[in-house]
Amino acid sequence: MNITVMGAGSWGTAFAQYAVGLGHTVVLVPRRLEQALRLTSSGENEEYLPGVRLDKSLQIISELRPALMEAELVVFACPSKGLRTACEGVRRELESAWQLKGAITLCKGLDSETLQYPAEVVEEVLGGSLCVGALSGPNNAAEVAKGCLAAAVLAFPEAAKAFAQSVQEALSSETFRLYRSADRRGVELGGALKNIYAIGAGLCQGLGLGDNARAAFLTRALGEMVKLGIQWGGQSQTFYGLSGLGDLMATAYGPWSRNRSFGEALGRGEAIEGVLGHAHGVVEGYGAVQAFFKKAQTEGLSAPILSSLYQILYAGEQPGRAVELLMRRPVGVEHNNI
């Protein structure tokens, strides 16, 4: 399969490295020319994926037309806030991409202006003729690139089942197991919401609340994720799978997680601006808190944990005070009360 990967951050580079190792023809498209030159000359993405030598068969091209010319599948691996721009670039070259059959988003979040999901942005910009899916799961980029065992969910609409099966077969291996789903909305929601709650898990750690508190927080966070996810069109079982619970556990506990590290730093009393300024890569959960809080407020949905995180990140509430207010909420029956 001919695959073009848009975005050379840690996950985009890792995905491209993994796919080319399976024997696919893969083109990696960095956003900046200077980044493409560095990757080509050094044979390594020292900025986002240090220590992983890039396969010599991996093509690194910064110009879209040649990068898309023989592509059958485009993989969008950019941050959510850059997805629309990336799609618009691809749209300008669609006439030259005559073999293009589908697209996959690795993005985790909402469009901050329209509150659209990543797959919706791709469909709107590129048109409805392409099969558009989402891939999500507990996937640390460096581990995938190094061939460590991992699994993820590949979600396409039921109408694209045949294409989804072909992609699943093409990208599954003994080290990376892909499960198929028709619940694209749920998979996208799980991948985005877990970043929000991973920030909260980091806050628990930074505040020194202990293992009991963090476990309780994550259990209640999962309940809120399922509740919101169902309200927004996902299927409940999806949130107990790899793209929901699985990704939440990895992101909330992984030392590599930018969202968990961000929350931990805030819990220690560091300023938001300083932490974001020194973050190595985009902290997707920060923008997701604002976008999903806005969505929940607009639709009149109760989401106490999401609301508390919004107050901390955007309204100046002290983390310790927010925890205190959560603990003072009325008690009730576990499964009926988020």
Any idea which residues carry the catalytic annotation? 194
Q: Measured between alpha carbons, how far is 108 from 103 in angstroms, rounded to an integer?
A: 15
User: Please, which residues have CB within 8 angstroms of residue 178's CB and are 6 or more apart in sequence?
Assistant: 135, 151, 152, 153, 154, 168, 171, 172
Query: Is residue 158 within 8 Å of residue 185, measured between CB atoms?
Result: no
Distances (CA, A) of 99 to 2, 95, 128, 141, 213: 9, 10, 16, 28, 52
Query: Coil, strand or helix: which one is 136?
Result: strand
Closest by alpha carbon to 185, among 241, 230, 129?
A: 230
Q: Which letter does DSSP use for residue 281 in this model? A: S
* Site of tokens 């927010």: 322
Query: Coil, strand or helix: which one is 127?
Result: coil
Q: Measured between alpha carbons, how far is 43 from 55 in angstroms, rounded to an integer?
A: 8
Residue 61 CB neighbour total at 10 angstroms: 17
Residue 129 CB neighbour total at 10 angstroms: 11
